[in-house]
Amino acid sequence: MPELIEQMYCSQQIVIPPKFPYILKRYCKAAIKTQPYDLLRWSFEYFRALAEHRAPPVKLRLEYPIYSTEGGLTRGCLKVLANQMYGMTDVPMAVVKRAWQGFCLDHMELKRILCLCEVYLRQDSVPLLHFLAVAGGMLTKCLTHTMILLCESLTKEPDGGSAAIPMEDFLKMYRFLAQVDASKDVQYHNGYREGAAPAIPVMEVVQDDEEDQEAKKLKQLSATKMQDFGYAPPGMVAGRQMSTTSGEFIVQTIEKEIMDYIDEQIAILPDPDLKKKKAKPEEVAMIRDILEQFLDDNMEIIVPEVEEIEEEETPIPEITMVYAVPGIGGPVDKEIMADFEEFIKEVCKLQAEMVMPRNIRHFLCPPLEKYVEHDYTEFEPPKPEVTTGGTITE
């Protein structure tokens, strides 16, 4: 019993770091305000951000409903993302993915946003204003409400203020969203919109031209050497390996020419007795064996073998389905864009080049997008038929 008593711990023996209660209190408040989908992963991102002296993924206040989209993106998340990446013009993909994972958001939602920004699998960075503009469009129902939301998310003023942002940033986001066509579901193949072929790099074109020239040179060189030896088979194409049948035919042709040449030399000899002399069968066989051995040893020089280049299989493209985004809609006409920009520029002259949501809501403000009229008569229930005529009976 005395040994057990000596090992017992008391309050004086347990040392608690002085900052531990404060850190634990801040962590609990942050978890309650943010309401993360995956608490364990969010906790890792939270403490890693504190260790790296970065802004942690914590919402400013509790939101209800918690999730606004299928991917989990909310207005509070958008405002925190804008604060975390503030000061960057082009944000690297690694930074965007890290900030996105900090809120435990769906990675497929991020792919769709990057596809609409025309940077997925094409660039290593994304313009910050383009990224925030498309992300804001995921949370609204029309382009007008999207621009109001962006003013409220990017402003540096406290809540309840005018929510003003610089006119240059506002117009840059508006021009980009006005040109994006997100009115229908579209597939993106390796980051390119369906039907839009990617541009061919100049280096690849030059390389293809050089390969074609080398193939032509090999073809001409092969044809020249074959003609020097009295053989030029039609249909032979450089780049294909010589078959055994073609090689044997060349050997037979050269053998015949050499034997004919020997007979011609014998025919022009001055001694008539030698003209009648013919080679013995064993001598002919010996010459033929020597000739065949020589041709076999020098076949690579006579007819160069070029290995057949196998065509590379076309890789299967990565398909990303991007659904229609009502907060962006279809492309806006240039006349509508010009009228709205002219109005904003005139208003901002009196507001220190700042744009506010009240300017968009003003009754003199031109529309930001084309108004689409819907025919709601097709959704009306059929009217009951009233019978006419006849007699009323009890």
- Per-residue pLDDT reduced to its tens digit, 187-230: 999 889 988 766 554 444 445 555 566 556 555 555 554 454 44
Tokens matching residue 275: 């003209």
Mapped onto helix, strand or coil, the DSSP state of residue 102 is helix
Strand order in the sheet with 186-189: 192-193, 186-189, 319-322
Which residue did the predictor score with more confidence, 161 or 273? 161
Collect all residues with Cβ–Cβ distance below 8 Å to 341 and sequence separation of at least 6: 171, 174
Beta strands in 93-135 (DSSP E): 125-127
Distance CA 197, CA 215 (A): 28
- Per-residue pLDDT reduced to its tens digit, 329-352: 999 999 999 999 999 999 999 999
Average pLDDT over residues 305-318: 71
pLDDT at 383 over 70: no
Are 106 and 124 spatial neighbours (Cβ–Cβ below 8 Å)? Answer: no
- Per-residue pLDDT reduced to its tens digit, 246-288: 556 666 777 677 777 777 766 666 665 555 556 667 766 777 7
Global pTM reads 0.66
Alpha-carbon dihedral angle through residues 385, 389, 391, 394, given to the nearest 10 degrees? 10
Where do the structural domains in the chain lie, given as residue ranges? 86-196+318-372, 242-258+275-306
Compute the Cα dihedral for 127, 72, 47, 32 and give only its sign.
positive
Predicted pLDDT of residue 371? 75
Predicted pLDDT of residue 317? 86
- Per-residue pLDDT reduced to its tens digit, 128-147: 999 999 999 999 999 999 99
Give per-residue burial for 10-21: e unless 16+ CB within 10 Å, then b.
Answer: eeeeeeeeeeee
The DSSP call for residue 276 is T
How would you classify residue 352: left for phi > 0, otherwise alpha for psi between -120 and 50, otherwise beta? left
Predicted pLDDT of residue 202? 46
